[in-house]
């Protein structure tokens, strides 16, 4: 059972099973070699008996490892939390049971044939007749195969149509649930749209109807359909949020889209639960369902190999209530303020004329962020009039996020809070060892603009010192 462990919420008991299969393969090869190289009768008898024990042991070990597999892990497709995920899970079960039935039928016939017609010692009876060329058998096999294909094909087509076509849900229109009045003109009757843009190796999430952008942590309302426009700026990526929806590729030069929904609408939920009582009571029960079962922190990742740090291109999704979503949008638009309550105008007046008056780790970190470290060249921080970069993730309210480096460095506690100490360690690790954390990323080397390419006045390589990394990390922790 020590072979079963969890990494970022993904149970990997498959590694244990792989170890069992490798063991079986290698040991069987060795035993076969010894068995046929040694011609002593008693030795051969020993190996024959050992083979039976060997097969029994490995079978029990395989079952033990299978018992450790968790179907309710963070990335499990068996824990469906939305209509798209449920439709895909239902299709999987239909296909599974058809294939299991087929396996039992074919395997059962094969087993019967092996037992009934096996050759016995001293048996001189003729070989049994073959069924090859029997019209009834062959037509029956063809007809059965076609029937099974139809059984699988019909629900498959229905699921494809369901997941492809945007749902018509008046309750998902922005005017029906969004609490703010800052929706782009003409978009009030549309559902929430998010532009998902894949980079090597991080995610940008743009909300064009609301005029905001964030990165690596998607925020969506519970019980509402959301359209995702999928775009890539470099290579093929694949958006996968398994508990809410399946995979769809982001292909350069191609406009793909999908829709997702965390939790059912009230009507769909009512169909499943047949609630009793007044309409107000039913609405309250529905809100409790969203709060207890759907509002959560979900794990996703890129599911298409996209380069050397593909395995570290993760993302997160928080499903929240309507009011919480509206408050988050307002906070993102407001952005972050200058340190110690200063206005950005006053801070930059000092920064330009008398930077020495801006003392303390936070001010020093911000000066490094805007100057020597070149962070603002690629990153934007809403509210800061000079941090307008677009090549890297938007860092507005970065310290509120539960992870760093596209979900690879986590600092979320079990109760859903931010571990401040771990967050600081993650900032330091990412800034100081970004190439080790995520090999090949452009923050380290970007044609002279990366922090791994900083030079001094003499043109010599001059990387950030430990003290400078500390100060930048302290400043980033103020972006709340």
CATH code of 305's domain:
2.60.40.420
Query: Domain for residue 141, yes or no?
Result: no
Mean pLDDT computed over 57-67? 64
Mean pLDDT computed over 371-388? 93
In Å, how far are 193, 246, 420 from 188, measured between CA atoms?
11, 28, 39
Whether residue 324 sits in one domain with residue 339: no
Count of C-beta atoms within a 10 Å radius of residue 369: 22
Whether residue 339 sits in one domain with residue 239: no
Out of 293, 315, 330, pick the residue that ends a domain.
330
> What is the percent of the chain where pLDDT is above 90?
60
If one compares 47 and 188, the residue with the highest pLDDT of the two is 188
Strands (E), 123-177: none
For residue 410, is pLDDT > 70? Answer: yes
Least confident of 229-233, 320-324, 462-466: 462-466
Write down the pLDDT at residue 425. 96
pTM: 0.82
Whether residue 314 sits in one domain with residue 339: no
Take residue 302 and report the two structure tokens written for it: 């890129």
Out of 309, 330, 351, pick the residue that ends a domain.
330
3-state helix, strand, coil in the chain (%, to 5): 45, 15, 35
Whether residue 305 sits in one domain with residue 406: no
For residue 327, is pLDDT > 50? Answer: yes
Query: Domain for residue 157, yes or no?
Result: no
Write down the pLDDT at residue 7. 42
Whether residue 259 sits in one domain with residue 355: no
415-445 pLDDT, tens digit per residue, is 899 999 999 999 999 999 999 999 999 898 8
Query: Domain for residue 263, yes or no?
Result: yes
Least confident of 100-104, 297-301, 394-398: 100-104
Query: Domain for residue 208, yes or no?
Result: yes
Structural contact between residues 163 and 88, judged by C-beta atoms closer than 8 angstroms: yes
Whether residue 324 sits in one domain with residue 184: yes
For residue 368, is pLDDT > 90? Answer: yes
Structural contact between residues 281 and 367, judged by C-beta atoms closer than 8 angstroms: no
Query: Domain for residue 112, yes or no?
Result: no
Whether residue 362 sits in one domain with residue 317: no
Structural contact between residues 74 and 407, judged by C-beta atoms closer than 8 angstroms: no
| Distance from C-alpha of 114 to C-alpha of 116, rounded to nearest angstrom | 6
Whether residue 326 sits in one domain with residue 347: no
Out of 315, 330, 345, pick the residue that ends a domain.
330
Least confident of 116-130, 238-252, 328-342, 344-358: 116-130
CA nearest to 182, candidates 344, 325, 384, 383: 325
Write down the pLDDT at residue 75. 86
Whether residue 339 sits in one domain with residue 322: no
Write down the pLDDT at residue 120. 76
Whether residue 466 sits in one domain with residue 392: yes
Mean pLDDT computed over 123-133? 71
Per-residue pLDDT band for 134 (boundaries 50, 70, 90) equals confident
Query: Domain for residue 356, yes or no?
Result: yes
Query: Domain for residue 383, yes or no?
Result: yes
Helix (H) or strand (E) holding 162: helix 135-164
The total number of structural domains in the chain stands at 3
Take residue 258 and report the two structure tokens written for it: 């999908």
Could you write out the three-class secondary structure of 28-54? HHHHHHHHHHCCCHHHHHHHHHHHHHH
CA angle 457, 460, 465 (to 5 degrees): 85
Whether residue 452 sits in one domain with residue 394: yes
Count of C-beta atoms within a 10 Å radius of residue 433: 12
Least confident of 37-46, 170-179, 261-270, 405-414: 37-46
9-61 pLDDT, tens digit per residue, is 344 455 555 665 566 666 666 656 655 555 544 444 554 555 566 666 666 66
Write down the pLDDT at residue 310. 94
If one compares 270 and 242, the residue with the highest pLDDT of the two is 242
Mean pLDDT computed over 349-368? 94
Q: Residue 399 belongs to a domain with what CATH number?
A: 1.10.760.10
Domain span holding position 196: 174-330
Query: Domain for residue 178, yes or no?
Result: yes
Whether residue 431 sits in one domain with residue 351: yes
Write down the pLDDT at residue 34. 56
Helix ranges (H only) for 68-134 are: 83-116
CA nearest to 189, candidates 200, 205, 203, 178: 178
């Amino acid at each position: 059972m020590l072979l079963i462990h969890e990494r970022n919420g993904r149970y990997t008991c498959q590694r244990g099973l792989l170890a069992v299969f490798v063991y079986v393969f290698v040991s069987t090869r060795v035993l076969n070699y010894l068995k046929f190289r040694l011609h002593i009768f008693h030795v051969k008898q020993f190996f024959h008996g050992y083979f039976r024990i060997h097969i029994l042991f490995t079978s029990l070990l395989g079952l033990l490892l299978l018992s450790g597999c968790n179907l309710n892990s963070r990335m499990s497709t068996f824990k469906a939390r939305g209509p798209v995920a449920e439709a895909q899970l239902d299709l999987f079960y239909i296909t599974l049971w058809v294939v299991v039935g087929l396996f039992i039928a074919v395997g059962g016939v094969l087993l019967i044939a092996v037992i009934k017609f096996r050759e016995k010692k001293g048996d001189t009876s003729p070989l049994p007749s073959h069924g090859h060329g029997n019209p009834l058998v062959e037509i029956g096999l063809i007809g059965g195969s076609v029937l099974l294909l139809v059984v699988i094909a019909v629900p498959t087509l229905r699921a494809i149509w369901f997941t492809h076509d945007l749902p018509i849900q008046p309750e998902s229109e922005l005017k029906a649930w969004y609490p703010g009045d800052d929706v782009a003109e003409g978009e009030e009757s549309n559902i929430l749209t998010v532009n998902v843009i894949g980079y090597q190796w991080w995610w940008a999430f743009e909300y064009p109807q609301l005029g905001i952008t964030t990165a690596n942590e998607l925020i969506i309302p519970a019980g509402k359909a959301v359209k995702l426009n999928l775009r890539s700026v470099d290579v093929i990526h694949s958006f996968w949020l398994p508990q809410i929806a399946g995979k769809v590729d982001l292909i350069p030069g191609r406009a793909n889209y999908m829709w997702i929904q965390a939790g059912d609408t009230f009507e769909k939920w009512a169909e499943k639960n047949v609630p009793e009582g007044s309409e107000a009571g039913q609405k309250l029960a529905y809100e409790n369902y969203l709060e207890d079962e759907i509002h959560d922190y979900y794990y996703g990742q890129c599911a298409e190999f996209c380069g050397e740090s593909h395995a570290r291109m993760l993302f997160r999704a928080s499903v929240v209530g309507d009011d919480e979503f509206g408050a988050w949008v307002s906070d993102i638009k407001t952005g972050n303020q200058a340190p110690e309550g200063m206005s950005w105008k006053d801070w930059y007046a000092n920064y330009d004329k008398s930077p020495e008056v801006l003392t303390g780790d936070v001010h020093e970190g911000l000066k490094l962020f805007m100057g020597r470290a070149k962070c603002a060249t690629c990153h934007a921080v809403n509210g800061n009039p000079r941090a307008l970069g677009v090549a890297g993730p938007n860092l507005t309210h970065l310290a509120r996020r539960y992870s760093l480096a596209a979900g690879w460095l986590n600092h979320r506690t079990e109760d859903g809070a931010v571990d401040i100490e771990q967050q600081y360690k993650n900032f330091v690790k990412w800034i100081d060892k970004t190439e080790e954390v995520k090999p090949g990323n452009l923050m380290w080397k970007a044609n002279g603009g990366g922090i791994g390419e900083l030079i001094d006045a003499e043109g010599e390589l001059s990387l950030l010192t430990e003290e400078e990394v500390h100060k930048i990390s302290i400043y980033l922790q103020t972006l709340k």
